[in-house]
Amino acid sequence: MTEQVAVLSTWQSEFKLRHPSMTYVEQAQEAAAGCMAKVGMCPDDIDAIVYSLAPTAFMGVADADRWAIDHIFGAGKPMLRVHTGGATGGSVVQAAHALVRSGMYRTVMIVGAERISETPDAQKVLNQIFDPFYEKDMPLQTITAVALMANTYMRRHGITQEDVARLVVRQRRNALLNPHAHLKGNITVDDVMASPMIAYPFKLFDICPRSSGGAAMIVGNMDAARQWQTRPAFITGVGAVSDSNWIGDRIVPSAEYDFIDWKLMRVAGRAAFERAGITDPIHQVQVAEVYDAFSIQGLTQLEQLGFCASGTGFLLEGEGAWEMDGGQVAVCPSGGTLCTNPIAVAGLVRAIEAANQVMGTAGGHQVKNVRRSLATAVGGIAQFLTCSVFSHEPYEAH
Amino acid sequence: MSKNLTPQSVITEEVTLRYDYALGEVAGTFMDGLKQRKILATRCSKSGMVYLPPRAFCERSFEKCDGWIEAGHEGVIEASTVVLRGFEGSRPPPIAVAFVRLDGVHSAIANYVEGLDLSDTERAMDRLAPGTRVRVQFVPEPQGRVTDFYFVLAQ
Amino acid sequence: MNCYVLGLALYPAVQRAAGHRLEEMVYHTAHAALDHAGIHRRELDHVTLGACDELDGRSISSMLLAMPAGAYLVDEIKVTDSAASALCLEVARLKSEEFDIGLVASWCKSSKTDVESVMRLRGEPFYTRPFGMNMTMSDAMLAQAVADQFGVSAAQADDRVVKAYARASANPRGLTQAVPTLAEVAASPYEATPLRAMHRAPLSDGAVCMVVASQRWLDRHPQHRPLARIAGVGWAADSYRLDRSRLRDFNSARKAWAQALRMADLPDASSVDVMELETPTVYHEAAYEQVLGLGASTQISPSGGAFAQNPLFCTGLVGAAEAVLQVAGQAGAVQVPGVRRAAAHSCHGYAQQGNVFMIFEGAAHD
């Protein structure tokens, strides 16, 4: 027999470029302690830990989870560290989900932190993730690779840079209501267009910041929910998929899942939606916290998740479809990864925001009447995708 | 504690890690081919796929690739960008990069595109639009690195 | 939901896999495991990986290694603690009933990088890295603590080395190595006191893959006969600090073992006929024997354990493969007669900070 998986508590720090007065482990500690304290739990109430940590070259200590264990009150506990690049924060939620659903553990804490600015050369680190023979000699870092995809997508569907800029404007404005968000403000399309071009068509404002901070989430079974959380968010659907690393395989006619339209997201979404009993996303899901390190990425995911047809996401943006207030579905009411990207926990923050919306604890950027939300995460060059669904009601077999 | 002591706020350290990446069965052959101005792709007879960059096994059939094919020296741009902000350790910008599906091959391989005026980004992007045909050119003395060749516009 | 090992494969033990790139090692091993299980890659509904970026030499090594491990268009996740940890997460995934048949894959090419540099990088920068803490130093401090706590003399340590190599030499799946004499071991130079060079299991290159399936899948595919049932798993990680109690109490090992026994519904170590231990040094072996209460009825590391092959990150899962072969009656020259239950162990981090236990039972025959 399997267990329900309920989100009991969440916690996020303020995300910004630097936290100079704290060490890495102190950031992780703050998240762990804050998350437990919020619902009156103590370390003995946590049965197992899943640690969220992606490339460690940013903060300069290999396997920093091992160092952090004492600080997160985890010494002696079962701990696993998951690492799927940028998708790490989404994968840790799914690992914790398995630990509870299986009945192996009653409560699991998911925790992590990021310090991207410990090294000034984040992009150089990210360039190491490519194949050392074929792609390292070229500036195939993440920005360039996604720019390549974006150009083709925009030409294919007749989307302009201004169309995409409207999304940036909306999410920076959303972030004003989110005390944890890194970038926020009332900017205009002109502001986005005037920002320096980095790799065509991406200007500075089309790209996420490098954020530092910590985050944590505690999940548990129904019994644990009765004990600690009267209004949990249930994780009712999980899905994930990995594709080939070779971008050149994915943008050609013989690709099984066309990278340009990002068809791979369908696979992760379908798996999560089937489990969660979602057949009509636009009416059944009220909030989509999609992982959008680049402005092009959020709505392309939405299209493949079935909220609208391929190529229409940005046109609907122009019609206000994704607004927090009055839109059809609130897309990234938190501001999204576009405004806040602490790589090791970025996917976890999406899940936290999605869960908060269902639990009614999102604060200033709370959307009304959220019954279901989803969170996605992206790792590698859009190679590892996760999608998780949160619901106000427990999971029911379909 | 002396009043003149100020707390240190950072510890600085430079770390270098050395790695010896083995070329393996396939990359070695590819690099040798470059020295002879050949671009060698691998083929899987089970799935029929022809791959660049070459690889030891086919992801679809999960069988070893069992043949080598010389890729054509012309192909079509599948995706491109002009990079305007560089980073340490790479060529100074502006640079043009494209994924090109060479004739006879299913998957695209990336490299620099040379010979374009990049001062007008919009115009450069039009000239690099997906579907544009390009030609391969080799450097005068190939070293056995993927940058031994680059692309130029075909017409 | 019961879980079973359907097939497995080990990359042929080698000190230095010079001819193969890491991707190729992983591919060959994954393919061999699928063949052993009699299934095609397309039948997998998930993949669980265990690997370490720093040892692989890449920032996100699964970008290039997920596909060789069979993850193309499949739900894939990776843990970094140890290969055995990947098997533990795999068990949770199957028991969650969201998945039915998966591949666990792990690899390590320790010859390709300066391992101690990586270990040094694991030191936190304020108090630990400045004096160069690494694997040698931490294992030496463990050896010192174990010698005192468990009464292990240098002569006894030397003797364990010879016996371990003797067992390893009988294992067709191990490296081809000479069995040293007691005199040779006693004369090998100190690396960090009290550890002599020959007290330590030398590193090697390797990869290991297992195909694991749920009861539900087996019921639907009755023509498949599993090698073993995974009766129980347990894991735990200790404090990062290396003080006296940390080095002597073996707290995480005790907890992990208790968890595995509980899950397997077994009282103690007398219930297992074989225990494949991961022993970076023979002092580890001496300690675990006492900590886990291994008596005469439990054969320790008949495969030779880490002294047969030691691909560092995945040594513990290699031990698990050996344990599975024991209960399946397929261990060949090192088969222990009449094995009903075999356990495997993994340790990771400085001075066995983390421990993992896996208990396998012979699968019921019709």
The pLDDT tens digits of the residues spanning C131-142 come to 788 999 999 999
pLDDT of residue B25: 61
- The domain containing residue A93 runs over which residues? 6-118+211-220
What is the mean predicted confidence (pLDDT) over C22-33?
96
Over residues A345-382, the pLDDT tens digits come to 999 999 999 999 999 999 999 999 999 999 999 998 88
B132 inside 8 A of chain A by CB: no
Over residues A46-77, the pLDDT tens digits come to 999 999 999 887 778 999 999 999 999 999 99
Over residues C165-185, the pLDDT tens digits come to 999 999 999 999 999 999 999
Interface of A with B in 197-236 (CB under 8 A): 197-201
pLDDT of residue C132: 83
Residue B5 has pLDDT above 70, yes or no: no
pLDDT of residue A133: 47
What is the mean predicted confidence (pLDDT) over B69-98?
84
pLDDT of residue B79: 85
Nearest beta carbon to residue B21 from set A132, A140, A247: A132
Per the rule left: phi > 0, alpha: psi between -120 and 50, beta: everything else, C349 is: left
Over residues A220-246, the pLDDT tens digits come to 999 999 999 999 999 999 999 999 988
Residue B9 has pLDDT above 70, yes or no: no
A379 inside 8 A of chain C by CB: yes
Residue C365 has pLDDT above 60, yes or no: no
Over residues C232-261, the pLDDT tens digits come to 999 999 999 888 899 999 999 999 999 999
pLDDT of residue A236: 98
pLDDT of residue A137: 47
A30 belongs to a structural domain: yes
Q: Residues of A with CB below 8 A from C88's CB?
A: 80
A64 belongs to a structural domain: yes
- pTM of this prediction exceeds 0.90: yes
Residue A287 and residue A323 in contact, taking contact as beta carbons nearer than 8 Å: no
Per the rule left: phi > 0, alpha: psi between -120 and 50, beta: everything else, C337 is: beta
Of the given ranges (A91-100, A116-125, B56-65, C248-257), which has the lowest mean pLDDT?
Answer: A116-125
Percent of chain C predicted with pLDDT > 70: 99
The residue ranges of every structural domain in chain B are 24-153
B106 inside 8 A of chain A by CB: yes
For residue A42, name the pLDDT band (cuts at 50, 70, 90). very high
pLDDT of residue C130: 79
Residue A157 has pLDDT above 60, yes or no: yes
Residue among C194, C67, C64, C91 nearest C136 (CA): C194
Of the given ranges (A350-354, C143-147, C157-161), which has the lowest mean pLDDT?
Answer: C143-147
Percent of chain A predicted with pLDDT > 70: 94
Domain CATH for C24? 3.40.47.10
C232 inside 8 A of chain A by CB: no
pLDDT of residue B17: 59
C108 belongs to a structural domain: yes
Cβ–Cβ of B18/C129 closer than 8 Å? no
Number of domains present in the structure of chain C: 1
Domain CATH for A114? 3.40.47.10
Nearest beta carbon to residue B27 from set C21, C113, C114: C21
Residue B85 and residue A199 in contact, taking contact as beta carbons nearer than 8 Å: yes
Number of domains present in the structure of chain A: 1
- The domain containing residue C78 runs over which residues? 3-113+203-220
C183 belongs to a structural domain: no
Residue A123 has pLDDT above 70, yes or no: no
Q: What is the ipTM of this complex?
A: 0.97
Q: Is B13 exposed, middle or buried (0-12, 13-18, 19+ CB in 10 A)?
A: exposed
For residue C300, name the pLDDT band (cuts at 50, 70, 90). very high
Over residues C313-355, the pLDDT tens digits come to 999 999 999 999 999 999 999 999 999 999 999 999 999 999 9
pLDDT of residue B76: 96
What is the mean predicted confidence (pLDDT) over C195-209?
97
pLDDT of residue A132: 45
